[in-house]
Chains A and B, each alone.
Chain A
Amino acid sequence: MDNIAGRKSGLSWAVNISVFAMVVLWLIPTVGLLVSSFRDNQQITATGWWLAPMPVDFSFRTRALPDNMEEIDGVYVISGNVFADPAQARWFPDGAGTLSAFGTRGAAPGEYAPGEVVEVVTRGQVIGALTVGAEGDYELRHDEPFARPVTFYFEARTPPRFTLENYNTVLRADGMDRAFINTLTVAIPATVIPILIAAFAAYALAWMDFPGRGLLIAAVVGLLVVPLQLALVPLLTLHQRVGIGQSFLGIWLAHTGFGLPLAIYLLRNYMVGLPRDIIESAKVDGATDFQVFVKIVLPLSFPALASFAIFQFLWTWNDLLVAKVFLPSGSDSQVMTVKIADDLLGSRGGDWEILATAAFVSIAVPLLVFFTMQRYLVRGLLAGSVK
């Protein structure tokens, strides 16, 4: 529309800014999840994900061990470097860091500035004089030998730490690997099976003449909006009566049934638009309906078939309701959505890094499908809604 008269360039910066703001608003929550899933499990609760590239201030506890005690001119001295403590190796792998404060009490780990000399008091008794430098070198002096280790505290900056540990934990220990396979097991047959059934029905509704056709199309449109909630109890009862019970077979059948109205509707709308000449000339040449369908209509309908396949795949992958009802609730057959909603949110409710990682594992495949096949998705939406 660039060629339209009176196009105002004065407004275009405003448009650019507002679209940019909207995109940021829409994108930020997902980015936050992605960033959080790679953060260290201690840093994640210490600072917000938007500060992820910044260092994080932590307080640490360390101990001066009597083993390293030396006697110098009648004074007993323990010296060392706080960053060399193996307990802190995770944060300071090369044994060096910058200390911002230190303290002698757990309640006030950053009471004193580096370089100050302070008394260490335990149960009302002075047990030594401590000083800690900014590089982490400490010296503990006392005129009697040290019998027990002396505990003190310090605060230091830790570099931002990104890790794949969360993914390892979620996939191995929390059983998301099993849930991932279960989701895949539910989604693929539930996507493939309805397509062919729907394609034949759509062809009949689009290109064959028979009494009651209009009524059937209206029925399909009506069934499109039947709430799934209605189907749960009667079908579960039915499945239990015929011996399917709660099982993968049951959920495939259920997803097939629930996906059919959209499939038939989308495919019929597409097939009706195919050129009449091709189909009629094939019939004049003696092709049967079956041949016309298999050799002409089916290959030409590929874009519509692809659109529906993507919809159905996303829907079955993302579904929580049908999986909760039609699959057994044990962890052997939990799909990812059920696993997150019923298991992880309860048992791991406070472990933000686990929740973020699990959520990202579950949305990774749909996002991949979305970004690679967006074209078909859009086409399918348009065929289904705008006429």
Chain B
Amino acid sequence: MSPVVQGIITIFVGVGGCVAYFYLSNIVLDKVIFPARGPNPGRNINRANMVRPWLFLFPAMFALGLYLAYPVVGSFIRSLYNRAGTEFIWFGNYIDLMAEPTFRQAVFNNFLWLLFVPAAATFFGLLAAQLTDRLSWGNIAKSLIFMPMAISFVGAALIWKFVYANNADIGLLNAIRDALGAERPIDVVQIPFWNNFFLMFILVWIQTGFAMVILSAALRGIPEETIEAAIIDGASPFQVFFRIKVPQIMGTIVVVWTTITILVLKVFDIVYTMTGGNFGTHILPSYMMSFMFRDDGRATAVAFVIMIIVTPVMVWNIIQARKEMR
């Protein structure tokens, strides 16, 4: 069967199945298990209402449990076994990884990414949000800066291959160097250490729009009286920005920062497409993919290291979410 037909059938089965499940399970609950008649109709209605949330939640909880919660445990357990999954080797995979120079390089690079990408994207986003705020064509400008958000990481990597290309007739960067009198083109993704920054900039280019949109909404939400009062008191535009506006949107800045931080730990596409991890550019997600399909023990161990790095952010997010709910 062609995948297209299969896809159409899946949509109907999936959507129809969901509707049928929710509809029928409610009927069964109200009419069969706890009918609102007989000796204790009141008690039955209460009981039905106690069960109903779980009916609504069940498919989502099942999918979340299977596809996100179980893998955390499953991956950890798998990472304690050897390559074939036949022998329990305790933390053998982790110990091997520590001894591996490429792994240490990947961890180091990953921390570079974690420092640079969220900081740069938030900075450019804030800059763009503040500058476009008063412009008559600000919305068009924002829309264009926001556009890379829609582009896949693979597409973005290709787009930037055309900028970085080791050829002054293809790569804009080398063309500029050429115009400034450089002798011959350089391949920027092969310069040790600094090549990481050229790769990171691709992600910054993508994420700046995200930061800008959110920070721009936050800037709009600042009460005007505070700004007006500062201006009347003689504050310069820079003082207004740094002393009045930034402190008031600090919460949002942190949210943007953490969101991009989490993203950085997921993105393997850029490194994979641009260098394949060569020239000392591996980061943990791409390093993990180099083991995928070859050594599940190592692959899950690397994945679990990523999980450990994410955990503080996760805890912080949960605390924030709970604060908001109160």
A binds B: yes
Contacts from A to B (Cβ < 8 Å): 1-2, 4-6, 8, 11-12, 15-16, 18-20, 22-23, 26-30, 32-33, 36, 44-50, 181-182, 185, 188-189, 192-193, 196-198, 200-201, 203-205, 208-210, 213-214, 216-235, 237-238, 248-249, 252-254, 256-258, 260-261, 264, 288-290, 293, 314, 317-321, 324-325, 333, 337, 340-341, 345, 352, 355-356, 358-359, 362-363, 366-367, 369-371, 374, 377-378, 381-382, 385-387
Chain B residue at minimal CB-CB distance from A4:
B228
Which residues of the other chain, B, contact A23 by a CB distance below 8 angstroms?
A: 141, 144-145
Alpha-carbon gap, A220 to B57, bound state (A): 12
Looking at the assembled complex, report how far the CB atom of A261 sits from the nearest CB atom of chain B, in whole angstroms.
7
User: Can you give 15 contacting A-B residue pairs, CB < 8 Å?
Assistant: A8-B237, A26-B147, A32-B163, A185-B4, A185-B6, A196-B19, A200-B56, A208-B52, A217-B321, A223-B68, A289-B52, A321-B289, A369-B150, A381-B210, A382-B214
Looking at the assembled complex, report how far the CB atom of B109 sits from the nearest CB atom of chain A, in whole angstroms.
16
Task: Tell me what chain A mostly uses at the interface: helix, strand, loop, or mixed.
Answer: helix
Which residues of the other chain, A, contact B70 by a CB distance below 8 angstroms?
A: 234
| Interface contact A235-B71, CB-CB below 8 Å | yes
Alpha-carbon gap, A225 to B264, bound state (A): 11
Alpha-carbon gap, A29 to B205, bound state (A): 10
Instruction: Evaluate whether A222 and B288 lie within 8 angstroms (CB atoms) in the complex, with A45-B169, A359-B159, A386-B218 already known.
Output: no
| Interface contact A260-B60, CB-CB below 8 Å | yes
Which residues of the other chain, A, contact B150 by a CB distance below 8 angstroms?
A: 314, 363, 366-367, 369-370
| Interface contact A217-B172, CB-CB below 8 Å | no
Contacts from B to A (Cβ < 8 Å): 3-4, 6-7, 10-11, 14-15, 18-19, 22-23, 26, 30, 49-50, 52-54, 56-57, 59-61, 63-64, 66-72, 74-75, 78, 124, 127-128, 131-135, 138, 141, 143-155, 158-163, 165, 167-170, 172, 175, 205, 208, 210, 213-214, 217-218, 221, 224, 227-228, 231-232, 237, 252, 255-256, 259, 262, 265-266, 268-269, 272-273, 285, 288-289, 292, 296, 299-300, 302-304, 306-307, 310, 313-314, 317-318, 321-322, 324-325
Looking at the assembled complex, report how far the CB atom of A150 sits from the nearest CB atom of chain B, in whole angstroms.
32
| Interface contact A214-B154, CB-CB below 8 Å | no
> How many A-B contacts are there with CB distance less than 8 Å?
350
